[in-house]
Chains A and B, each alone.
Chain A
């Protein structure tokens, strides 16, 4: 509890400091102030209220060009918490993350899987080009409290580049705490859920919809960005997942 209360009071200030530090510092040095466009490009905490996605390049590419288009910063956020909502398991929720996982592994960081609903299958990871040496799995039978504790600790650790967790419902307080942990460790945390909760403090919420219209279409899926810092309206795009299934 201690960590939470401390960081929660500090975080908004530091966020503001960071946002303004660029402007202040540069003016003091007497250098020409950068244009607003430049700041928007680089800083993930600044965006134009009237514009939609596609501002800046501070994200890390998702590997799916259409998805990059609808995400602010043209990619996944560098840190923070994001939620992937799929009404059922097996809708391509992990497919979305394959390129990201590959780049995390290539950076030499670890991926922690916290209580996946079923056995994590190593051959599938190898097929997707993900090195299993840098993967740690926390068992499903771990208690919820312990799972959350390990998620928070992992998010705070810089060696973990990506933390994946399957939690169907979490209160906003817990989510906020995880979000702050992810910011301090500059780690990306992903929560897989079945249902969307409107007031979640996560940085990004993405929903995968069942492609009921084209039932026989295996590889395409509709992905909706419900909420992202820098977007005010949901954007939907159709992606071709399951690329290595061809």
Chain B
């Protein structure tokens, strides 16, 4: 029973040959009208999906990762006709039933992607040809495409006979399985259809049977839709030149709310945003906003932008504004403070608020002005403390080195960056007032291996005006006295 609208047996093109040509779909004319009739008949019951498969045999020579890369490029083309593009070995498959009417038939769809796909292949410096087919099952269309028939099957009922004409090679079986099929005298799929399922399962495994069932639409055939990587960029041309940055804020607010809407739809958040301000006859101004904690709260982003604006000098009036997201992140639901604002006595200390605050600080002061401090296991006093700039801070992984090196003798809260020399007069020490030594000495000797030797005797002292000082005397050289810290 030959299906009028299904495939016509055609000579198999050699996929790698130079003469490989795409064979036009044997659709136009009489079968098309019949297909319409068919589809109207069936729509009442249950419209079958129609999967459009594009097969690139030339990809087989490349490595797995290269194939993936190239398929992504090619998938971008197919995105124009369907939102359900899935990846298969050297092939892409998408559902087109839902957009048949929109584009005006399978031929129109094919024509729409034909040129761009070839162009894309050219860009990838691959031979410019591909094989395609469409049928109501994913695997079926893949098999049809592999066969090079460029066939079209509208109805599930016709699948069995249409696939039956294909050679067993299209199944891409292992050598051993191929040999066994050959020895059994099986050359085409229709030969398999005639065999009992149980026996086949025993000889070729359930995976093989599953493949056939999927092809015939008897087993579910789920696909994973390819989602192109997110990208967001928007721009706005101002109707007139704007000199005051504050007047850009309402526009920025709108752009940011678009961005946040986009992020919400894709369930993403972002951590790096760039604003470009365009000026006439001058280079543009970039505003880089990188966040420690990814966000998609437009209020917070607007506040950050406002903070950036306060410090910004623009060389010329702004004529256009552009916004681009540089880095997307997965959205973490806990970063949204749900009810914190509603609580009258804010007893909840969400880290979220803190990060927002620190980002604001950083935006205004610059990263190196905000520091965190840390104790270092170091004998020499001035090296025993370390300031870590906000940009290099790792908030989560700092718990390790606590209490590792607490000096036993008291240390001052405030340490002078440069020790200040004290005056010794008539055997008495002076800073601004006379100094009395309370306790000491504590001998610290270090860095003898480097050029600058540290040999000091530290004392705790009291200045007559009430300051508690940490002073030392050098044990080498001129044996001068220095003030090194305040016990505040």
The verdict on A90 contacting B361 (CB below 8 Å), with A119-B416, A139-B371, A218-B462 known, is: no
Contact across chains for B417 and A119 when beta carbons are under 8 A apart: yes
| B116 CB within 8 Å of chain A | no
Interface string of A112-135 (1 = CB under 8 A from B): 000011111111111100011101
A126 lies within 8 A of B375 (CB): yes
- Tell yes or no: B14 within 8 A of A by CB: no
Please indicate the chain A residues that have their CB under 8 angstroms from the CB of B227 in the complex. none
Tell me the complex Cα distance, A118–B406, Å. 21
Bound state CA distance, A208 and B486, in angstroms?
15
In the complex, chain B residues 406-465 whose Cβ is within 8 Å of any chain A Cβ: 406-407, 410-417, 436, 438, 460, 462-465
Does A123 lie within 8 Å of B375, measured CB to CB?
Answer: yes
B353 touches A158 (CB 8 A): yes
Least CB distance, B101 to chain A, in whole angstroms: 56
CB distance from B419 to the nearest CB of A (A): 11
Which single member of B360, B372, B384, B411 contacts A137 (CB below 8 Å)? B372
Is the C-beta of A87 less than 8 angstroms from some C-beta in chain B?
A: yes
Contact at A142–B411, with CB atoms within 8 Å?
no
- Residues on A with C-beta less than 8 A from B413 are 94, 120-121, 124-125
Task: Say whether A186 contacts B369, CB under 8 Å.
Answer: no
Given A126-B406, A133-B398, A153-B361, decide whether A90 and B486 contact each other with a Cβ distance below 8 A.
Answer: yes
Per-position 1/0 for B447-488, Cβ under 8 A of A: 000000000000010111111110000000000000001111
Cβ of B344 to closest chain A Cβ, rounded Å:
10
Interface of B is mostly: mixed
For A60, the chain B residues whose CB sits under 8 A away are none
Question: Given the known A-B contacts A91-B467, A157-B353, A159-B357, are A123 and B407 also in contact in the complex, defined by CB atoms under 8 Å?
Answer: yes
Q: Is B364 an interface residue (CB 8 A)?
A: yes
B99 sits at the interface (CB 8 A): no
Which of B386, B405, B488 touches A92 (beta carbons < 8 Å)? B488
* Partner among A87, A123, A142, A210 whose Cβ is within 8 Å of the Cβ of B385: A123
Kindly state whether residue B374 has any CB partner on chain A within 8 Å: yes
Measured between beta carbons, the chain A residues less than 8 angstroms from B385 are 119-123
Q: Does B200 contact A (CB under 8 A)?
A: no
Other-chain residue from B346, B357, B412, B466 in contact with A88 (beta carbon distance below 8 A): B466
Nearest CB in chain A: distance from B247 CB, A = 16
With the chains together, A48 CA to B256 CA distance in Å? 53
Selected from A119, A153, A159, A216, the residue in CB contact (under 8 A) with B415 is: A119
Bound: A123/B411 CA distance, A: 7
With an 8 Å Cβ cutoff, the count of chain B residues facing the other chain is: 58
In the complex, whether B1 has a CB less than 8 A from a CB of chain A is no
Q: Are A138 and B370 in contact, with the CB atoms below 8 A?
A: yes
The answer for the CA separation of A95 and B413 in the assembled complex, in Å, is 9
Q: Assess A242 versus B399: contact at CB under 8 Å? Given A90-B414, A150-B365, A153-B360.
A: no
Q: In the complex, A1 Cα to B125 Cα: how many Å?
A: 62
Residue on B with the closest CB to A107?
B349
B385, B417, B488 — most chain A CB neighbours (10 Å): B488
Q: Flag whether B231 is at the interface (Cβ < 8 A).
A: no
- A242 touching B488, Cβ below 8 Å: no
Q: Judging by beta carbons under 8 Å apart, are B346 and A132 in contact?
A: no
Within 8 Å CB of A142, what residues of B?
365, 369
Kindly state the separation between the CA atoms of A86 and B468 in the bound complex, as whole angstroms.
Answer: 12
Asked, given contacts A121-B411, A121-B412, A124-B411, whether A135 binds B353 with beta carbons under 8 Å apart, the answer is: no
Between-chain CB contacts (< 8 Å), 27 pairs? A88-B463, A89-B488, A90-B412, A90-B468, A92-B488, A93-B488, A95-B488, A121-B415, A123-B405, A123-B407, A123-B411, A124-B412, A136-B358, A138-B361, A138-B369, A149-B364, A153-B357, A154-B361, A157-B357, A159-B350, A160-B354, A160-B357, A215-B436, A216-B462, A218-B460, A242-B487, A245-B460
Given contacts A90-B488, A153-B357, 20 further A-B contacts (CB under 8 A): A87-B466, A88-B465, A94-B413, A108-B349, A119-B387, A119-B417, A120-B385, A121-B412, A122-B384, A123-B407, A125-B373, A125-B413, A132-B373, A133-B398, A135-B373, A157-B354, A216-B438, A218-B438, A242-B410, A245-B460
List the interface of chain A (C-beta within 8 A of B): 86-95, 107-110, 116-127, 131-133, 135-139, 141-142, 146, 149-150, 153-154, 157-160, 186, 208-212, 215-216, 218, 221, 242, 244-245
Nearest 10 Cβ contacts at the A-B interface: A210-B466, A90-B486, A159-B354, A118-B414, A90-B467, A122-B385, A94-B488, A124-B411, A121-B415, A158-B346
